[in-house]
Amino acid sequence: MAIAKPLIVWVDDTAENLFSQVWGIENAGYRVLPVSEPEKALAIIKEKQPVLALLDVVMPHPGGYELCRQLQADPATSCIPVILLSLLDSRKNMDEAFAAGAVDYLLKPLDSAAALPVLDIRLKTHALWLEVNRGHYSQQADSQVAAFVSYAHNRIAGQAVCPVAQNYRRDNLYEVLCAGGVPEDRAARQIAEFFRLPYLHRFEKEYVSTRAFTREFSLKNSVLGFRARSGEVSFAVSNPLNKELLRRIRREAGSGGVSISIASPSAIAAALAG
């Protein structure tokens, strides 16, 4: 029996962009479902459950950022990694993409040779993202650390100081990365990318919630409860390898499930200040 190829949904309102570029992705062993009507994309992605979604940023309603936020907000699609595509090469646009919940931001026209390694990294770590987000934890305590070390080293190649793999433990990822010359904010982004979790760089204080955990506990464990605009309480953590903390979050959330995001320790502390 033939093994089904991984499905990618590609949303772009300009049909010629889709059909002129998907062949490079398909030749690499993926199935690509082109969607040229953005208003139908959410329902299609929910039905098809692809391993990854590629969204053009500039589209009629909903645009790429809004569609990404909709996918993140829906429990049926929140586990699907999203990559945003744009002609706009600026830090502001990239920050907006990550704030919307995207795991990456690529420039158009898409160069399949350059894009394929990015897609491969995203899909190879998708299973780990599911483990963390759904609470199914590996019994091999060091396997996730080892996998993250390899990923982090690839991402920081060229740094003057490279962290030493054997120095990593589940409780000191930031300490070792920062000692290796990686800024804390960038370390948090790398962790979010690896685990396919949304990255949040700041919080609006009016949405911060301390109902689940005290301020002291939150500071000590680098965890923050916050209300999404939908009213649902979500949680940001700095270290998703802290299994005991994630179990406690899930107990607090009850049977309704919970949304987990990644933020740096400093961002969480700043939100709790005052």
pLDDT computed for residue 150 by the predictor: 61
Nearest to 8 by CA among 192, 20, 28, 17: 28
22 pLDDT more than 90? no
Least confident stretch, 177-186, 233-242, 265-274: 177-186
Give CA–CA dist 151/8, Å, rounded: 22
Mean pLDDT of 230-242: 77
Amino acid at 89: D
218 pLDDT more than 80? yes
Q: What are phi and psi of 201, to 5 degrees?
A: -95, -15
Mean pLDDT of 57-82: 85
pLDDT bracket for residue 146 (50, 70, 90): low
Mean pLDDT of the chain: 76
Neighbour tally for 220: CB within 10 Å: 10
Give CA–CA dist 155/157, Å, rounded: 6
pTM to 2 decimal places: 0.52
Give CA–CA dist 181/201, Å, rounded: 19
Beta bridge partners of 11: 35, 55
Nearest to 218 by CA among 227, 208, 228: 208
177 pLDDT more than 50? yes
pLDDT computed for residue 127 by the predictor: 55
47 pLDDT more than 50? yes
Which is higher by pLDDT, 60 or 232?
A: 60
pLDDT computed for residue 165 by the predictor: 44
Sheet hosting strand 223-227, strand order edge to edge: 208-209, 223-227, 233-237, 260-262
Q: Structural domains in the chain? A: 7-124 (3.40.50.2300), 139-195 (no CATH), 205-272 (no CATH)
Mean pLDDT of 211-217: 82
